[in-house]
Amino acid sequence: MRRDCPGWNGGKNGVRMDSEVKTRPAAAHLDNGDAADPSVNVGAKLYALRKERGWTLQEAARATTVSASTLSKVERNELSPTIATIQRISRGFGIDLLSLLSETEETPALALSGCRSISRAGSGSAHSTGTCDNTLLCADLKHKRMVPIHTRVIARSVDEYKAWPNNDADIFVYVLKGTVVIHSQIYEPLTLNEGDSIYYDASGGYVWTSEGPEPAEVIWVISN
């Protein structure tokens, strides 16, 4: 299915090109309640996974549909990947998204019923890009069918995105605070205020921007 608060576009040879937002090194913090793990170097983890499988950058690009140049920049900490990109990478490597954002080892998916996960105030797995500050909620539960995320939308202009993300996922967004503008390659810009919500097929290409004095805050869910 399709993905993130913006991140990718069609490229040559069927490989989609990711939004190359240059920010601080690709690191994330995991906090599921009492204590936070040390910074996680996403680039180093990606490099180790690729070498473990004996893949070249081109082979990894084919497996993940993320361009070899983008993968290389992530590995060298020159690019902070969007959640959409991380999700595509994790799919291509056959691991859970959170395995790239924490120090926990990958575990097989279990057929469990009645499972639950709780996020306390201020907890979650944080991952920031140049356009959004994201906190993945219920981060202690892996292999979820949908990923809930709390996001502060930092971008103020569509020009801050290097590409239109056309992600293979369905997305639901609920505005908690402020005003967010949903920009689409298909429709006119849509303004959402506090309490408004939207559900969309992200394959059409969407980006978000904040409007007003403060960054908008949203809760959104992306199919996994």
Q: Average pLDDT of 103-125? A: 69
Identify each DSSP E strand in 42-196 by its residue range: 124-128, 132-136, 146-153, 170-177, 179-184, 190-192
- Does 1 map to a domain? no
What pLDDT, in 10s, does the model give residues 147-159?
A: 899 999 999 999 9
Does residue 3 lie in a domain region? no
Note the Cα 50 to chain centre separation in Å.
Answer: 20
Of all residues in the chain, what percent carry a pLDDT higher than 70?
77
Q: Which two tokens stand for residue 98?
A: 């959170």
Range of the domain at 50: 8-106+115-223
d(CA 218, CA 195): 10
The confidence score (pLDDT) of residue 166 equals 67
Provide Rg for the chain, Cα atoms. Answer: 17
Q: Which residues pair with 135 in a beta bridge?
A: 126, 150
SS3 label, residue 133: strand
Q: How many separate domains does the chain show?
A: 1
Any domain includes 2: no
* Alpha-carbon gap, residue 42 to 32, rounded angstroms: 18
The per-residue pLDDT for range 170-190, each reduced to its tens digit, is 899 999 999 999 999 999 999
CATH for 217: 2.60.120.10
Distance of CA 94 to the CA centre of its chain: 16
Residue 141 has pLDDT above 80, yes or no: no
Q: What is the mean pLDDT of the chain?
A: 78
Dihedral angle sign, alpha carbons of residues 116, 219, 23, 82 = positive
